[in-house]
Amino acid sequence: MSRILIVEDEPAILLGLSGQLRREGYEVTTAITGDDGLSSAQTNPPDLIVLDLMLPGLSGYEICRTLRSQGRQMPILMLTARGEETDRVLGLDIGADDYLTKPFSLRELLARIRALLRRTQSNDKLQIGDVEIDFAAYTATRAGRPIEISRRELLLLRALTAKPNRVLSRDELLDSVVGEDVYVSNRVIDNYIVTLRAKLPEGHLVTIRGAGYKWIP
């Protein structure tokens, strides 16, 4: 499950946001000062940060700039107050990925969060029901518990999920999984599909008879 850090000094907003995000199934940590927010993001990096611009101590800008200068790439959604037009632009300049102006609707915020997480998850992390895949670390968990998954199963999954709703032939998949120069029967793909499917929630990995396989998100 994705972890979100909210850095916000207005108690009502903080409470409303954290409650709503937890109800949506996110794991939420909070900070009410800039300094606490930065140290939390550094010591226990979240998957996404909802960052207020004006904070006691370090500002949202400074936090954003510091994290980016340290090479931390988690998506940052900046919250700004009405009338901070130039600030908004600056917010994007310093490496925030998106912003919302207060007051905003929770629905809008949730949509933005989902979009941002999808963007990063398509790179390194993937959430499929209660299964979480980390392609960078070659690890997978189901309901928070580690599951065994081989490198080739991960490569296969990555190839499929990179092109959702498209039929991929065994030969295409084979190239991604064992490499183009290796000669093996493309039927090995069927074996990987079977073992992979057993580890994932049902209904995503679909067989298209005579053609190949398809990933349905």
Q: Which is nearer to Ca ion, 39 or 59 (CB)?
A: 59
Q: Could you give the CA distance from residue 108 to residue 114 in angstroms, rounded to a whole number?
A: 10
Angle between helices 60-69 and 85-93 (to 10 degrees): 10
Q: Could you give the CA distance from residue 208 to residue 128 in angstroms, rounded to a whole number?
A: 21
Contacts 24+ apart (CB under 8 A), 132-141: 132/1, 133/157, 140/199
Distance in Å, CB of 9 to Ca ion, minimum: 5
Q: Which is nearer to Ca ion, 99 or 192 (CB)?
A: 99
Distance in Å, CB of 87 to Ca ion, minimum: 12
- φ, ψ of residue 65 in degrees (nearest 5): -60, -45
Q: Which is nearer to Ca ion, 38 or 200 (CB)?
A: 38
Distance in Å, CB of 169 to Ca ion, minimum: 53
Residue that the structure tokens 């000094």 belong to: 9
* Site residues for Ca ion per CB under 5 A: 9, 52, 54
Q: Which is nearer to Ca ion, 9 or 134 (CB)?
A: 9
Distance in Å, CB of 13 to Ca ion, minimum: 8
Q: Which is nearer to Ca ion, 59 or 120 (CB)?
A: 59
Distance in Å, CB of 21 to Ca ion, minimum: 18
Q: Which is nearer to Ca ion, 9 or 98 (CB)?
A: 9
Q: Could you give the CA distance from residue 24 to residue 8 in angstroms, rounded to a whole number?
A: 19
Sheet with strand 131-134: strands edge to edge: 125-128, 131-134, 139-142, 145-147
Distance in Å, CB of 103 to Ca ion, minimum: 13
Q: Which residue is nearest to Ca ion (CB)?
A: 54
Identify whether the C-beta of residue 121 lies closer than 8 Å to the C-beta of residue 162. no
Q: Which two tokens mark 126?
A: 């993937």
